[in-house]
Structure 1
Amino acid sequence: MGLARLAALHGVATVHSPGPDVTVPVPDETVVAVLAALGVDAATDEAVQSALTRAESAAASRLLPPTVVVWTTPDPAVSGAVLPPALPRALADLPPGTVLRVETEQGDTVEWPSPDAPATAAVAAPEGRSWPGLPLGVHRLAAVAADGRTAGAVLVVAPREVPQPPPRTHGFLVQLYSLLSARSWGMGDLGDLAELATWSGRELGAGFVQINPLHAAVLGDPTDPSPYRPSSRRFPDPVHLRVEAVPEYVYVTGQGAARLDGLLEQAAGLRAAVLDKGALIDRDAVWQLKRTALEIVREVPLGPGRRAAYHHFLAEQGQALEDHATWCALAEVHGSAWRDWPPALRDPRSAETGRARRELIDRVDFHSWLAWLTDEQLAAAGRAAHDAGMAVGIVHDLAVGVHPGGADAWAQQNAFADGMSVGAPPDAFNAHGQDWGLPPWRPDVLAASCYAPYRALLRGLLAHAGALRIDHVMGLFRLWWIPAGADPTHGTYVRYDAEAMLAVLVLEAHRAGAVVIGEDLGTVEPGVREALHRRGVLGTSVLWFERDWQGTGRPLAPESWREDCVATATTHDLPSTAARLTGEHVELRHRLGLLGRPLEEEQREESAEVADWLGALTRLGLLPADGAGEEERIRAVYRFLLRTPARMVGVWLPDAVGDRRPQNLPGTWDQYPNWRLPVADAEGRPMTLEELAVSPRLHGLMGVLRPSAAN
């Protein structure tokens, strides 16, 4: 009982429910290991009792919780001001006579009751009474009780909800690397993103383009191609740069220009290998060419204005960028696994690391410069989307975590739980659970730091985003922690302060004017979707998962879908619509040995599910009763999505040209070319952006999405 009580006080679960009416105990050794990662010794009965006594004593005497959230409403009459909020319960319950002092994010001090108020004034206020209007932000709150007790907390003042998209808009979903143009260097880049946004916005009336995470990858040979296991989520990967779009490129002369011409020829070879010869996208080969070209371009001095802009960027990004660039420079010398570096260099604040940074200052500056160039091109893509009339713009993606050997894990070691990995428990779809190999943030350190790592991450991603998609948004509430070396089934849930995490998210999205989309697929605990809805965060609804699970089990009628979502037919982790309708994805999984049952049984079940949906489409008049070809069936799927009240309808770009191949096949590593396939047509022939733009099949599908075709 003592261990369970201690765990509860630290947000660590001792049981979990893999299914309805099923409760599974968490092994004691897991609870002990997780508590240790949170800085709590529970290795013996004596240690448990000692830690429990301290924790219960602290909880009983605590005046304030670690974080206090105030939800408020922006004042429509005064720009930047907010209407005075009602007193939050955490403050209303304080003892009479308690004085509150707020050190605001903006550097001001606010005290309540005010110094000239009667000495007997109490913080406790009648229902509905408001306290002084505070600016939006993350502030420091101090409380001094009449009996002399003091307490400090983080105070987050946030709007009640994030900005909202228009009542209805549609757009493309695409993995950027897969979108090659005639100018790509072997994989899609930020120049291609700007072209896609401009073309689809102006010609097709698209309101957004949603892409994969552009986070910096861990350097390696080969580099992990997954965009969901990055080195850093804070900074983008310069592999996405359009080298020719760097302003200094045109000023390279002489031998440098000749070398660039040679690199362009090699890049054309990489592009041709993918588009014409069936080669896979080779991220490492692309980066080798781009890095060499960028080294040449860097020899061109920056003009006064450009240099001033670069220095402003360095100052704005501060320590975070210096750490990231230092890790990149050290990784070039010692390899990307920082835990294998010389011991002194494993500490980003050690004197030895400082000396190494000075010795490698040119390389540190190179990687800082790359971050600046990438930020500029991200901004240009965002402007292109805006100028094309997109209602939302570029939807960026936030991965759920980072690689344990990468830059973020090195620079922010105190913020991550040592010896822990994030994953998923066993469920109806995966009896063995999942270990994603991503270290989790410590909730206690986040609160103690005023959520600084989280805020900086959001601010960086939102800087040039019309919207932000959050992968596994349930992680704002709880994450499944797995001790190192343990089976995924032997993990447990650790809770985060969901209200605080949401408040910071809403605050930063409000400041950026950006929509927020949560990927809430899979197992979602009760209350999560409701909490997200209250804050205006859209969910994700995928056609094949939307059934009347509480009743008939049949496809959910379009009018019964939720409004606050992005409605799609598929995602990067699922079969394309063509593969789903034809059953080809079952055959693919069979060839790779991924089926858990005989092929014929899987095919029968899949055929029945597809027949269910085709029948629903026919009954709604979206598909001819006498049958239809593949293209018409795919159009009917998207007509169905338009019948739902969903605020945003996402078209998987490969669906528009009949691509059969998934971009990622969960459960595979080297058996399938995950994250390395270009967009292709129904025959598997890769297509350039230029070919997509004139594809009759694509235009036929997108004609369905125009407002006049909505019904």
Structure 2
Amino acid sequence: MNTPTPAPASTHLDVAMLHELAAAHGIGTSFSGWDQQQRDVDPETLVKILAALGVPADTQDRLEAALAEAELAPWRRMLPPAVVSRAGADTLVPVHVRHGEHVRLWIEAEDGGKHHPVQRDIWVEPRIVDGVLTGRATFGLPRDLPLGWHTLHAVSGDTRARATLVVVPQQLSTAQPLERQRGWGLAAQLYSVRSKRSWGIGDFADLADLAALGGGRGADFVLVNPLHAAEPVPPVTPSPYSPSTRRFFNPLYLRIEAVPELAYLKPKKRERLAKLAKRARRLNKNADMLDRDSAYAAKLEALELLYEVRRSPARQAAFEAFRAEQGSGLADFALWCALREELGPEDPFWQDPAAGPGSARARELRGRLDGRIGFHCWLQWLCDEQLEAAQRSARAAGMRLGVVHDLAVGADLASADAWTLRPVLAPGVSVGAPPDMYNQQGQNWSQPPWHPQRLAEAGYAPFRDMLSTVLRHAGGVRVDHVLGLFRLWWVPEGNTPDHGAYVYYDHDALVGILALEAQRAGAIVVGEDLGTVEPWVRGYLAERGILGTSILWFENDGDGPLPPERYRTLCLASVNTHDLPPTAGYLAGEHVSLRQRLGLLNRALEDEQAQHEESLAAFLDLVRRRGLLPQETGSASGADGGLPEQEVIEALHRLLAQSPSVLLQVSLVDAVGERRAQNQPGTRDEYPNWQVPLGDAAGRPVLLEDLAGDARFDSLLAAVRDGLHQRS
């Protein structure tokens, strides 16, 4: 006789039923760790995550009721919450109506045209739903529907319904020219890339200049960190991967002197602005750590002076057109900025579910804060103008792609997105990562995830709006942790990061919408698919025309370094990543010693160092066997008779160029000899993450003006160009 699995004492739940309910809501009940060992998610975590999805299952009665509801829920809807169809595909749409009643469907296309689905002869047994015998009719969508955002309508008797219908490309085609002619580009943390004209922080004009420098040397793109907006006033969060919104941009990056209204500033105010500039430019001399707060405070004061300048009729019309085009999303974000300035982050207002952007309180505040709301809308307009100018400069310099943006995984729990998008976010949980070989305690990124069902019910509009804004003046976008379009590691409030679970998303819908918006923008998409990723995911992304990511140090096949010829073709390949030290620091093993100092190792320092040295030796042996370095002994960094550090770094990039990957990335830090890491995953205050200015091997500041005559910069870029030429 089979003995039923006993319910855990803490919850008294039937575990088999709990697992069934979790699966019905897309929650994984187990996961494979970085060591390939399968681990079960504990029942308490599953109950918490179900609660975040709005599914109470903390008692056996509630669990059984939730299971019954999960089965009936689709039948209660006349139409699905949203339909995402690939162009030319045979897509079926279920329609639920009173059994035996006629139903009519039509599609109102984005361009105003009408299309009519055809009912298919597919029998589905009717069922009783809330006392009503309900049937399911199945319709096939026309295969010739144009790409875009359409509306699906249904009418049956007095009952009407509508749903968003999105037709997406089978495959994003924007990377196809790169398969015919490979390319390369620079990667930089923009805030760290300063010039003599910067106000202590790299800005949009610096981005334009960096693109011009790279384009003049044959580069096709410049990839930057996420430029998402942070807090509206200092202090601001240093991490660009923990923004206040992923839709709008950070005014910290504005070049004050590029604002046209500066020309009409009155003398006394101009004098004040000049003093602010002089003081802020002194920050460019900081070699150890950036001072975002001082730079932003100075810029905000200058921007407030410029906002008071009366705009010309043409400028005013352009500003008003921008506000109208961006609609309620911009208005709500600007309201959040104005409120955050007034209330601060700790006010109970932010936790009140009834105090969202559409509430009566918010409507009253909109009127009172109208002037400040206008200011924050104006800042976004300036960001839009200066980003457009940067992309224009990049293309004028010969770049085929130009600026490639980076899209963060999410926004902070106390962010604008957390407030304005509350209806489509899951409460009581945050996104993170399970333990891995580089952070063996797991990670909690303190970011609320999309609620899968509610996002679909919103017709995926928040996702679309975010993408269209990021891609507006871009040649591409890198999607950080692209696996998040498939699944995200949810960590319930009060749990440690290792006690979470994966929640799965409709990846066909999310990836399809990403491809649609990129196709419309003429932009490529790069998915950061590092870490524990199932092989089928990489194949799926390639099938959809989305590039993957290869990092030299991570490319192993079990027997040692993967020969570059076996790298993926549809890929952005680079030697390093911002979560590791620059290559000079990596060669010296500084990532190991740093993790030891911060208490992030779960085994002896000697073991970690030995593993690193063994791995490094294998890569350098491959480089030597390819004839890219002489057969010499000694350390990679040049000590004890070893090879010069710069020579090793260039050889590694030449090795990378032997791959078939369509894009190669050169990190700016590698081109100037920087050794310090920008970020140490799993830390907050223990390390100055995202606050390290661009410097040379000796830690001296490197400004944009220095790059034009920098022999090391030119030599590495030439090595990449030569390597690509030899491979082709």
TM surpasses 0.5: yes
Specify the alignment match of 2:609 in structure 1. 603
Specify the alignment match of 1:538 in structure 2. 547
Specify the alignment match of 1:156 in structure 2. 166
Q: Is the 8 A contact 1:337 1:406 kept in 2?
A: no
Q: Is the 8 A contact 2:657 2:720 kept in 1?
A: yes
- CA distances 1:3-35 after superposition (whole Å, capped 9, x unpaired): 222222211222222257633222222222222
Tell me how far apart the structure 2 counterparts of residues 489 and 396 of structure 1 sit (CA, whole Å). Answer: 31
Specify the alignment match of 1:166 in structure 2. 178
Determine helix, strand or coil for the equivalent of 1:226. Answer: coil
Tell me how far apart the structure 2 counterparts of residues 438 and 650 of structure 1 sit (CA, whole Å). Answer: 28
Distance change in 2, residues 1:487/1:597 (3 Å):
closer
The structure 1 segments of at least 4 consecutive aligned residues displaced by more than 6 Å after TM superposition are 60-64, 91-98, 122-125, 147-151
Specify the alignment match of 2:696 in structure 1. 681
Moved more, 665-674 or 327-336: 665-674
Tell me how far apart the structure 1 counterparts of residues 358 and 138 of structure 2 sit (CA, whole Å). Answer: 42
- CA distances 1:147-194 after superposition (whole Å, capped 9, x unpaired): 999876542211122211523111111000010101000010000000
Tell me if 1:484 matches 2:490: no
Tell me how far apart the structure 2 counterparts of residues 285 and 142 of structure 1 sit (CA, whole Å). Answer: 54
Tell me how far apart the structure 2 counterparts of residues 528 and 689 of structure 1 sit (CA, whole Å). Answer: 39
Distance change in 2, residues 1:220/1:166 (3 Å):
same
Given the alignment, which residue of 255, 268, 280 partners 1:255? 268
Amino acid at match of 2:613: S
Amino acid at match of 1:666: P
Q: Is the 8 A contact 2:231 2:244 kept in 1?
A: yes
Tell me how far apart the structure 2 counterparts of residues 630 and 209 of structure 1 sit (CA, whole Å). Answer: 24
Distance change in 2, residues 1:109/1:381 (3 Å):
same
Tell me how far apart the structure 2 counterparts of residues 427 and 590 of structure 1 sit (CA, whole Å). Answer: 16
Q: Is the 8 A contact 1:468 1:516 kept in 2?
A: yes
Distance change in 2, residues 1:473/1:359 (3 Å):
same
Q: Is the 8 A contact 2:118 2:139 kept in 1?
A: no
Specify the alignment match of 2:247 in structure 1. 234
Distance change in 2, residues 1:596/1:488 (3 Å):
closer
Given the alignment, which residue of 676, 685, 691 partners 1:670? 685
Shift of 1:542: 0.2
Determine helix, strand or coil for the equivalent of 2:248. Answer: strand
Shift of 1:632: 0.9
Q: Is the 8 A contact 2:148 2:516 kept in 1?
A: yes
Specify the alignment match of 1:555 in structure 2. 561
Amino acid at match of 2:107: V
- CA distances 1:204-236 after superposition (whole Å, capped 9, x unpaired): 100000000010112565321000000111110
Specify the alignment match of 1:140 in structure 2. 151
Identity between Structure 1 and Structure 2 (%): 48
Tell me how far apart the structure 2 counterparts of residues 591 and 13 of structure 1 sit (CA, whole Å). Answer: 35
Shift of 1:42: 1.6
Shift of 1:143: 5.5
Q: Is the 8 A contact 2:93 2:139 kept in 1?
A: no
Distance change in 2, residues 1:709/1:36 (3 Å):
closer
Shift of 1:614: 0.7
Distance change in 2, residues 1:19/1:531 (3 Å):
same
- CA distances 1:273-305 after superposition (whole Å, capped 9, x unpaired): x1xxx3411111001100111111112111011
Determine helix, strand or coil for the equivalent of 1:216. Answer: coil
Given the alignment, which residue of 204, 208, 229 partners 1:190? 204
Specify the alignment match of 2:381 in structure 1. 372
TM-score norm. by structure 1 comes to 0.90
Distance change in 2, residues 1:709/1:545 (3 Å):
closer
Structure 2 counterparts to residues 254-403 of structure 1, below 5 A: 254-272=267-285, 274=286, 278-337=287-346, 339=348, 341=350, 343=352, 346-403=355-412
- CA distances 1:381-420 after superposition (whole Å, capped 9, x unpaired): 1111111110111010000000111111111111111111
Specify the alignment match of 1:638 in structure 2. 653
Tell me how far apart the structure 1 counterparts of residues 277 and 437 of structure 2 sit (CA, whole Å). Answer: 50
Determine helix, strand or coil for the equivalent of 2:85. Answer: strand
Structure 2 counterparts to residues 377-526 of structure 1, below 5 A: 377-526=386-535
Q: Give the superposed CA RMSD.
A: 2.6
Amino acid at match of 1:176: L
Moved more, 479-488 or 90-99: 90-99
Moved more, 507-516 or 166-175: 166-175
Tell me how far apart the structure 1 counterparts of residues 474 and 234 of structure 2 sit (CA, whole Å). Answer: 31
Tell me how far apart the structure 2 counterparts of residues 62 and 708 of structure 1 sit (CA, whole Å). Answer: 58
Specify the alignment match of 1:23 in structure 2. 38
- CA distances 1:521-553 after superposition (whole Å, capped 9, x unpaired): 11113421111111110011000000113xx2x
Distance change in 2, residues 1:173/1:224 (3 Å):
same
Given the alignment, which residue of 578, 583, 588 partners 1:577? 583
Tell me how far apart the structure 2 counterparts of residues 647 and 520 of structure 1 sit (CA, whole Å). Answer: 16
Moved more, 190-199 or 336-345: 336-345
Shift of 1:144: 6.8
Q: Is the 8 A contact 2:658 2:724 kept in 1?
A: no
Tell me how far apart the structure 2 counterparts of residues 557 and 237 of structure 1 sit (CA, whole Å). Answer: 41
Distance change in 2, residues 1:56/1:190 (3 Å):
same
Tell me how far apart the structure 2 counterparts of residues 155 and 359 of structure 1 sit (CA, whole Å). Answer: 39
Specify the alignment match of 1:39 in structure 2. 54
Give the paired residue count.
Answer: 679
Shift of 1:138: 2.5
Task: Give structure 2 stretches of 5+ with no counterpart.
Answer: 1-15, 120-136, 634-642
Amino acid at match of 1:8: A
Specify the alignment match of 1:81 in structure 2. none
Shift of 1:312: 0.2
TM-score norm. by structure 2 comes to 0.88
Shift of 1:67: 4.0
Moved more, 573-582 or 226-235: 573-582
Given the alignment, which residue of 614, 621, 625 partners 2:620? 614
Tell me how far apart the structure 2 counterparts of residues 151 and 70 of structure 1 sit (CA, whole Å). Answer: 19
Shift of 1:334: 0.6
Q: Is the 8 A contact 1:643 1:710 kept in 2?
A: no
Determine helix, strand or coil for the equivalent of 1:346. Answer: coil
Distance change in 2, residues 1:585/1:487 (3 Å):
closer
Shift of 1:104: 2.5
Determine helix, strand or coil for the equivalent of 1:235. Answer: coil
Tell me how far apart the structure 2 counterparts of residues 638 and 336 of structure 1 sit (CA, whole Å). Answer: 45
